[in-house]
Every structure is written in C-alpha cells, then in structure tokens.
Structure 1
C-alpha cells in the first residue's frame, strides 16, 4: 500500500493523518470536499454543510452508520475546512504546490484511539475515490463494488501496529 495514513497526536488527541498531492488547483479540490454533488462520489455518507464557522453539517445515507450531524469548526475557502462528525473531527487543509496543483492534508481526530486502524482503512478507500473524482474519472463512492476493498486495508493497518479494536459495522 502506498501513501499510508499515519497515527498522530493532534493537540493531545489521537488521530489519523493523510496527505495527497493532486495536479489540480486548490479550488478544484475545495469543490470536491465541500459541494454535496461532489462529496457523494467519494465521502462515506451524503453531506451538506452550512459554509461558515458554527454552521450545521448533516450526514445521511451511510450504510454503515446512523445519520448524524456536526458543526463547522473552521471555514477558510479554499484552504481550510474542519467540522465535527459524532465524537470525531475532520480537518482538511489545502496548500498550493509550485506546479499549479495542491496538497490535501486530512486529519481525522478520533473520539477513541482504538478506531485508528478502522478509520484509516476507510479513509484510504475514500481518498482513492476522491482522487478519481477530482481527475474526472468515474468515482462511484467508497461503498461501491468498484472501490478498493476495505478489509485488506484494515488488516494491513492492524499488522503495521496501528491501534485497533473499535467496533466494525457489519462485522
């Protein structure tokens, strides 16, 4: 597996961190991480958000978890977006590269340490779908048959020593 997510300390809380570089400007990737019509192609649930700090975030249609809500913690287009999702937080940072592209850093701050391997495997699948979406390829979403299988990724993260043990929906 390339570009593996890493287990990190985020202001004293456990998290998993990912970095991806795209040959697309920040505005293109920003659209993919904020617009419902784009999110549906790569995010694990349907998302709608009020584009302001304190705005509501609504999550629906994830076959593995109940619908939920959160709130926007940071909103600085097209560079910074953070919001709560249950007991977790998602932090997206976009930085332009010298070649006209951008680097996306995603940190999933975890409610519990033992969710690291589970969530890291999930984000690996989701970010592969995001890569397809921003490149104009067909991205059917992380729950589709065309997406990378989650379970082998989870096993790899566990074998690499990432904290594990959180309940896995459907298992």
Structure 2
C-alpha cells in the first residue's frame, strides 16, 4: 500500500492564503516524522534546509524561502515553521488506523506563494520517498 493525498483545500482571506492537506501514509508517525523535522528529511522532498534547531523558538532557514523560527514543536506530533515574511508551514502527523498515519498540513502566506498543485507535487515526492 502506498500513501495518498486525501484532501486539499485552498482559502483566501483578503491577501492571506491558506492551503490545507490531509496526506495518508501506510507508515507509523515515527516513520514519517524525520521527513518533516530534519534537514535531510525536508531536503529530500521539499527544500534544502540551511539551519534547523529542533525545538520551540529554534532558528530555521529554508533555502530559497527565508529564515524564521520554529513556532511549534512536539516530537512526533507537530512541527511548525514561521518565516520572517509571516509565512507559516505546519506539519501535524497523527495515528490513522492500525499502523498508518495521517499528516494534517497547512501553509499560510500573504501575497504570492506556492500553489495547491505545488504542494500536491511535493507530497507525491514525499510519498515516493517513504515508499
């Protein structure tokens, strides 16, 4: 069994855009977490990471996207990165059935940013990386 992108929505409130996705994996959360919370994991499917201090308030620098801080961190549960331009990316894996997991994802940004299709493509890469 492979993973799947179950749901994707896009909302716009004035100049603020919010993308939400639900991505399911046949792996436990512990198997998905490193892909969301380590420089090697994120770099394999999303973007290169120059700095990532894995703790609340830690520094994060995502190549080509900017720097900011870790604004939520709970090992195996939540990783949220907020960049200096106000963009926020939140990964929230949770159990899904027997041995699988589901990733609740949101990306909030102002002005121009990644499209829903950009994130679908990235999640397809992530699913492929996790096998």
Q: Same fold (TM over 0.5)?
A: yes
TM tier, smaller: 0.7 to 0.9
Whole-angstrom distance in 2 between the partners of 1:78 and 1:110: 24
1:50 to 46, 53, 60: 53
TM value normalised by structure 2: 0.83
Residue 115 of structure 2 corresponds to: 119
1:79 to 77, 80, 104: 77
TM value normalised by structure 1: 0.65
- Any residues of structure 2 matched to 1:128-147 within 5 Å, and which? 128-135=124-131
Alpha-carbon contact 1:38-1:133 (below 8 Å) kept = no
> Which has more strand, going by share of residues?
2
Q: Which runs of 5+ in 2 are unaligned?
A: none
- Any residues of structure 2 matched to 1:1-171 within 5 Å, and which? 3=6, 5-8=8-11, 14-43=17-46, 45-47=47-49, 48-60=51-63, 66=64, 68-85=66-83, 86-112=85-111, 115=113, 118-135=114-131
Q: Which runs of 5+ in 1 are unaligned?
A: 61-65, 136-171
> Which one has the largest radius of gyration?
1
Secondary structure of the residue aligned to 2:102 is strand
The Cα offsets for residues 67-112 of structure 1, whole Å up to 9 and x where unpaired, read as 5201001000101111113331001111101211100011001223
The one of the two structures with greater contact order (alpha-carbon pairs below 8 A, sep at least 6) is: 2
Q: Kindly state the Cα deviation for residue 5 of structure 1 after the two structures are TM-superposed.
A: 1.8
Cα RMSD over matched residues? 2.0
Aligned length: 123
Alpha-carbon contact 1:23-1:99 (below 8 Å) kept = no
Cα 1:120–1:67 change in 2 (3 A) is closer
Whole-angstrom distance in 2 between the partners of 1:99 and 1:67: 36
Alpha-carbon contact 2:48-2:62 (below 8 Å) kept = yes
Alpha-carbon contact 2:6-2:24 (below 8 Å) kept = no
